[in-house]
Structure 1
C-alpha cells in the first residue's frame, strides 16, 4: 500500500479515531514530561562546588544532607493533611477551572504559607523560644515571597523577596535575579514564562519546617520541605483532559540560616540561604531550561525522553527526593 492510500484510509479519516489518536499521543507525552530536576537556593558558601557537581551529574544539588536534615527528625504528623486526596494526578479527569486542584494531591493544600507547619518553638542553644518562633515566621515569609507571590510569579518583581534577606545576601542575589540571559535566577525564585498566568485559585502549598543549631556560633538553621502546585489559566486552549495539562508542581528541601550580631557583622546578620535541592514536575521543558515555569499544554513535541521516578515521590515529603531528569 503506498503512502497516499494509507493517509486516505477510511479509519484514519474518521474524526472519532483522530480525536482518540491525539488523546493517546498527548497522554504519552504527559507521562514522559513529568520529571525534571532543578536546583534552588544555592548556599553562598558552596556556589562553585554546586555548579561543578551539576555539570558532573546532570542535576543541581546544593549541599549534602546531614543527620539533622533527615526526614526522621521532622514532625511528620504536623504536615498539612492530604489524606482525602489522591496520591497521584489522574491521566484523565474532568477539570473545573474554578477548582483546578480537585482530583489531585493538592486539593486540600493551603493557599498561603500557613501550609508550612512547624513544631512548637523551643529554646535551641542561645536562641530563645521567641527567637526560634521568629525564625520560623521569617522563613515562611521568604518561601511565600519566592514561591507564592504573584508579583514575583507573573510580574517578575523580586524586590520583596530580596528585602527579607541580609544586606550581604541581597547584594549577592540582586544581579543574579536581574540577569535573564542565564537560568540561574530560577534557582532562587519561581517566575512564570512570559504570556502565562495562573488561575485565581492557588498556588497551593504543603510542607513543614524544623530548626536546629547551625555549624557555627550564633547560627540557627531552619530546614524546610515543601511542595507547591501552580494552576495555569489555559485561555482558549482545549481540550483539557487532566489536571496535568495545566498544573505544575515543585518540590523543595532547603536550609535557611539565621545569624545574629554580634558576633557577625550587621551586613551578615539576619536571614540567609543555605543548602538545598529541588525537583519540578509536569512542566514545559523549553521554559524550564531557561529558568521559567510554564504548563505542559504549551508544548506539543512528542519526543520527550523517558524518566524513571515514581510521581508519588513528588507529593510525599517522606519519600526521597526524585532524582531523574528528562528536560
Structure 2
C-alpha cells in the first residue's frame, strides 16, 4: 500500500516553482516600471488611485501538488454579483454599513457568498460524489475564511481537522508560531490588536469541479472576501478603504480516496494556491496577518503605483494581479 499519492510535497519541485514564480514576478515588475516611465509621474498616478496596498501571494510556501495552474474559467454558478461597482475612496463612512461605496456592497454576506454549483458527473465521479466533495470544500472555506474563532484566535485547528491527516503532518513545520506567512493559504488570521466590526464579511466568487492530471477529483475555487475593521479613531477615516481589506484566493482542493493509499493519506489535500490582498496593513501582511490599510503610515501609504483601476481588485473575473504594493 502506498503511503501518499504521487507528486505530493515534492520539495525540490516546490523550491524550483517558487523560484520561477519570483523570477516571473520580478520580470513583471520591471516591465511595469518601464511602462510607467512613459506615463505621468508617480505622484500624479497616486493621486488618482486609492491609497491602499496590494500584496501578491504567488506560490509562497508550498506549491502542494504540481505546477499546473488552475485554468481561468467562467463561474459555473457564481454565488454573487461580480459587478465592479464604482469605488469611492473618499467618502463618509458609516461603521454600521462599512462596505457602502465599495463594490463589496453588492456581494452576499458571509457563508451565503460561498455556494456550490449544481452537481454533475465529472470524469469517473458521479454527481453525488461531486456534490459531496463540493460541500466539504464549501465548509472548509467557511471555516478558514469566515469562522470568527479561527480568524481572531489565529488557531487553524478547526481547518486542519477537515484535511487528510497525512497532509496536516506535512504542514506542521509551516504552522509553527512565526511561520504564518508560509501557511497563508490554510486559514485567514487577523492581526493581534486588529478588531473586526460586528458585521459579516462580504464574499463573491465560485467553485468549479474538475479532474486533475492523475484522474482524481478536484475543486478549483476563486473567491474574494472583504473584511471590515473597527478603528480607534473613526474621525480619522477618510474613506471605506481605510477599514475594508480585500483578500482574493485561487485555491485548488483535491480529493484522495483511492484505497491503494494509506488511510491517513485519504481526504482533502491542497493543490496550487495563489492569492493577493488589497488595502491591507503592509507590516502585518509581511508577517502573515490581516489588518486594514488604516494602520499604514499616512506619509507613505506603504504602497507603489498600481497598474489597475481600484475597482478591478474587487473583480474575480480578471487575472490574478502580480504586483506587490507593499515596498
* SS of structure 2 residue aligned to 1:205: strand
Q: Give yes or no for contact 2:53–2:282 (8 Å, CA) kept in 1.
A: no
Confirm or deny that 1:105 pairs with 2:103: yes
Confirm or deny that 1:70 pairs with 2:90: no
TM-score by length of 2: 0.78
Distance 1:28 1:202, change over 3 A: farther
* SS of structure 1 residue aligned to 2:50: helix
* SS of structure 2 residue aligned to 1:117: coil
Q: Give yes or no for contact 2:166–2:265 (8 Å, CA) kept in 1.
A: yes
Confirm or deny that 1:281 pairs with 2:278: yes
Q: Name the CA distance, whole Å, in 2 between partners of 1:180 and 1:144.
A: 24
Q: Give yes or no for contact 1:248–1:281 (8 Å, CA) kept in 2.
A: yes
Q: Name the CA distance, whole Å, in 1 between partners of 2:250 and 2:232.
A: 33
* Runs of at least 5 residues in structure 1 that lack an aligned partner in the other structure: 1-23, 47-62
Give per-residue Cα distances to partners, 1:24-56, cap 9 Å, x unaligned. 9xx85983433221247844235xxxxxxxxxx
> Which protein has the larger Cα radius of gyration, Structure 1 or Structure 2?
1
Cα RMSD between the aligned structures? 2.4
Per-residue deviation, 1:270: 1.0
Confirm or deny that 1:151 pairs with 2:149: yes
Task: Look up the match of 1:58.
Answer: none
Per-residue deviation, 1:175: 3.4
Distance 1:239 1:81, change over 3 A: same
Confirm or deny that 1:230 pairs with 2:227: yes
Aligned positions of 1:152-231 closer than 5 A = 152-181=150-179, 183-217=181-215, 219-231=216-228
Task: Look up the match of 2:53.
Answer: 34
Give per-residue Cα distances to partners, 1:102-142, cap 9 Å, x unaligned. 22111132233331233210112221211101111111111
Q: Name the CA distance, whole Å, in 2 between partners of 1:145 and 1:173.
A: 18
Q: Name the CA distance, whole Å, in 2 between partners of 1:181 and 1:214.
A: 29
Q: Give yes or no for contact 1:30–1:244 (8 Å, CA) kept in 2.
A: no
Per-residue deviation, 1:182: 5.8
Task: Look up the match of 1:81.
Answer: 81
Q: Name the CA distance, whole Å, in 1 between partners of 2:86 and 2:182.
A: 30
Confirm or deny that 1:320 pairs with 2:319: yes
* SS of structure 1 residue aligned to 2:252: strand
Q: Give yes or no for contact 1:211–1:221 (8 Å, CA) kept in 2.
A: yes
Task: Look up the match of 2:309.
Answer: 310
Residue of structure 1 aligned with 2:64, choices 41, 44, 61: 44
Confirm or deny that 1:295 pairs with 2:310: no
